[in-house]
Structure 1
Amino acid sequence: MALRDALSADGTNIVYRAGGPADARPLVLLHGWSANLRCWGSAADDLAARFRVIAVDLRGHGYSDVPAVGYDDPKNWAGDVAAVLAAEGIESGAVLLGWSYGGIVLSDYLTAYGTGAVAGVVYTGSMANIGRDVPGAATGIAMEQAIPGVFEESAGRAVRAFGAFGNANTGPGADKGVDAQRLFGASLATPPAVRKALFYRTVDNTETLRALDIPVLVLHGTADPVVPIENGRYIAEAVPDARASFWEGAQHGLFIEDRPRFVAEVSEFAESL
């Protein structure tokens, strides 16, 4: 998969990785808070066997630019997704898949740009809204325990705070330790100021969800300690054409916890559009 970049509306350079058949349906992967385009692990490669997979580094993360301000503006996040679609010449038929915070980003895009370029949406361990007292934006116990320590510039304090996530991103299996460490490393590599800035905004995309004219798939673990399953249920109940798959006992990173099931359910949805 080749690294490419696109210039967003506010001048931020957004880096992404593209691979898979050029004539296949585009599948745009938007990672979560304090992660990067490598978070998907082998799931991205599996999906690239069938789809044109585009894994994005969100602004402030990975190889993308790290602007000093602007993380509280939904139009910036929306513009980032629009820039990547434009750079790849995608005008219709795309599937947007957001994990965790990535679900907010794709919702920002849908609010600003509509569904003209999009055939379907997947929310996995995600929410569409953010902010205190905003519906569908509850914070899980692992995140509550990690904040505010994860905003610390002190490496020692930040590492201890991230420890509150435990196995949340990979599930309890001992064989996922390498993946867990990779994700912890990505989190620590994200600048502390960015980690903090992403939480200091309030967005309610509920009306966008209610007006969607495309199918939506919601994947969510019932034991997710980062983004509570109530947020996934909120999306499923708001969207007119929603399909929900709630994984009993699963946690936050479904694409790592049970990669074959994740790839199968996403593939079945995308191929049904």
Structure 2
Amino acid sequence: MPYAEVAEDVRLFYTDDGDGPPLLLVHGWGTDSHQWSWHIDAFAARHRVIAVDLRGHGYSSVPATGNTPRAMAGDLHTLLADHLGVPQAVAVGHSMGAQVVSVLAVEHPERVRGIVAVDPGYGMTADIAAAFPQMIAGLRGEHAHTVAEQIDEWCTNAATPAVIRRWHKRRLHGMPPHVLAEAFEAMFTAPEAIGVRPASDAYLARRRCPVLSIWSDQERARWEAALLRDPASKVVCWEGSSHRLHEERAAEFVHLVERWAGRLRP
């Protein structure tokens, strides 16, 4: 399996399967590219599928600092441009990964043909964000993995199969605690965080590429629809699903993404 040196202290693990228009798959907080095991084979029948472990996650390097969505987006730009020679890709990001691919699209627009944002980790309202400082304090404490598991309970519901619950729980307990804390803080409470409104509105409005956004919450779906600029953009809400909607409804997710991406202009 390939590795790429993308910074002085960062080596990314990735897989590269299939042939066709490139899809870049970007996982969420506290997981890794195994999250896309439900989808890679199906996508690879028609696409070149690049699935990467972000810095601090999975088999990639674990820097002492710098485990932020902005740094992760910079890593992906280097991977695509300098190592894989990919001029443009449709970037698919779940949760924190949706922040990462949005940063990639804003800061390196030439590299992103379109975005698929899967129950994105942005657009949080102030009432939800009020709990984040306490969560971050817990992630920096001596029981970081217990706190991370409690946070992850929000990501599932009765629709989530036990195998998906168990996989994510085990992955969280294998994560370096400082990465969990630093990445969560960088998403929501750090000075440049874009996860909470109105910072989300201002930054995401800068995306000029088409966006397919798939939500489990109708209010947040309506909110993002007002920010999208490209006429090829689309917002979908799968009410009743959990934050893991792309894993719970894998075949439907692949079908939706392929149909939408297939309509994008070269």
What TM-score do you get using the length of structure 1 for normalisation? 0.80
- Equivalent position amino acid for 2:226 in 1: E
In 2 relative to 1, CA 45–167 (structure 1 residues): closer, same or farther, beyond 3 Å? farther
Which residue in 2 is equivalent to 1:199? 184
Which residue in 2 is equivalent to 1:37? 33
In 2 relative to 1, CA 60–231 (structure 1 residues): closer, same or farther, beyond 3 Å? farther
Q: Does 1:234 align with 2:226?
A: no
Which residue in 1 is equivalent to 2:121? 127
Report deviation, 1:144: 4.9
Structure 2 unaligned blocks of 5 or more:
195-199
- Equivalent position amino acid for 1:4 in 2: P
Report deviation, 1:16: 1.0
In 2 relative to 1, CA 47–71 (structure 1 residues): closer, same or farther, beyond 3 Å? same
Which residue in 2 is equivalent to 1:70? 66
Please list the CA deviations of residues 5-30 of structure 1 after superposition, one character each: whole Å capped at 9, or x if unmatched: 22224541111111112xx0111011
In 2 relative to 1, CA 30–48 (structure 1 residues): closer, same or farther, beyond 3 Å? same
Please list the CA deviations of residues 86-115 of structure 1 after superposition, one character each: whole Å capped at 9, or x if unmatched: 2211013x100110000111122122212x
In 2 relative to 1, CA 232–187 (structure 1 residues): closer, same or farther, beyond 3 Å? farther
For residue 256 of structure 2, the aligned residue among 248, 261, 265 is 265
Which residue in 1 is equivalent to 2:173? 188
In 2 relative to 1, CA 84–235 (structure 1 residues): closer, same or farther, beyond 3 Å? farther
Q: Is the 8 A contact 1:71 1:197 kept in 2?
A: yes
Which residue in 1 is equivalent to 2:149? 162
Q: Percent identity?
A: 31
Deviates more, 1:52-61 or 1:202-211: 202-211
Q: Is the 8 A contact 1:77 1:108 kept in 2?
A: no
- Equivalent position amino acid for 2:152 in 1: F
**Higher helix proportion, which one?**
2
RMSD: 2.8
CA distance in 2, matches of 1:10, 1:104: 23
Report deviation, 1:231: 4.5
CA distance in 2, matches of 1:221, 1:99: 12
What does 1:145-160 align with in structure 2 at a 5 Å threshold?
147-148=135-136, 149-154=138-143, 158-159=145-146
Q: Is the 8 A contact 2:102 2:207 kept in 1?
A: no
Give the number of aligned pairs.
Answer: 249
In 2 relative to 1, CA 140–159 (structure 1 residues): closer, same or farther, beyond 3 Å? farther
In 2 relative to 1, CA 268–139 (structure 1 residues): closer, same or farther, beyond 3 Å? farther
Q: Does 1:172 align with 2:158?
A: yes
For residue 254 of structure 1, the aligned residue among 232, 238, 245 is 245
What TM-score do you get using the length of structure 2 for normalisation? 0.82
